[in-house]
Structure 1
Amino acid sequence: MPHATFSTPLGTCAIAWNDTGLTRFLLPDPERPASGNTEAEPPHWVGDIVDRVKRHLIGEAQDFADVRYDFSRVPEFVRAVLKAALEVKPGHTASYGDLAAAIGLPPAASRAVGNALGDNPWPLLIPCHRIVAATGKMTGFSGPGGVATKVRLLALEGAQLLAE
């Protein structure tokens, strides 16, 4: 599967694609080799996404809802949760219960929603970092850096965060 790595102000990201759409996106990780480990030259449409990610990570909030994702690679429930998460725009947050309601499920499905977000193959692009506990507390984030990365991304987007 073609993929490329690229440098951002927060570190090296990686992106993978096929003819259908994006198959994977990886947030900066201190364990990932530095830029230059690109295995394929991204097509123009992927290059545009890379440019938007770079802008997003310097504080120019981008909405990635228009990106072509290869949703065939994720189970139907995860797909529904991820598509609902795309509706949460930069600078805003929603609760796990809000996402459950958006896909027609009761608040008790919040844990299942959280598990589905943990399987998000496109963190940042599909904004699982914008989903918080009903109390506004920052909980679980499976990306590199955990909750600290979640808070950093939300702050970059100008989201209002609750102090403890």
Structure 2
Amino acid sequence: MPANSAEPDAMVDVVLVKAGRTKIRYPAELLQDDGTRIVVRAPFAGTGVRDFGFVRFDPGDVFTEYYWRDRWYAVMEVRDPSGVLKGWYCDIARPATFSGTELVVEDLDLDLWRSADGTDVRRLDEDEFAESGLTETDPEAATAALAALDELESLARGGDFESLLSR
């Protein structure tokens, strides 16, 4: 494990940054850090119910979150309080940074949802991504973000999605 990260079972702060500002900060339990992939678990950090129409995040839901230092996405496995899998919510983001007890991820607006049974795979927030202006301000990041979304969608539709989380 890298010297600049917390020991497993330690509490860390997950910091989601969007457009240069902290969008949300919440505590999470560090489950694993192999130097490339960081895995944490946290209760749903939102306030109240978040109903997307195709999935609903409720207080008590548990998120096991997978972040990579070398990939442009993060994957959140979502389970209800009794452990039933709802699915995976994927954020397209710059590679994560982890220093001390702070895990920082910069959200790039694009998202992907995959239901627990794999029958519902959908790209989300492409309009927000277009409006963000990233293609003009940082074309390399925009290209990496779109490639990451395509990669995740391919894995989600091709049936090899769960193996991504066990690598």
TM-score higher than 0.5 here? no
Structure with more strand by fraction:
2
Larger RCO: 1 or 2 (CA < 8 Å, sep 6+):
1
Structure with more helix by fraction:
1
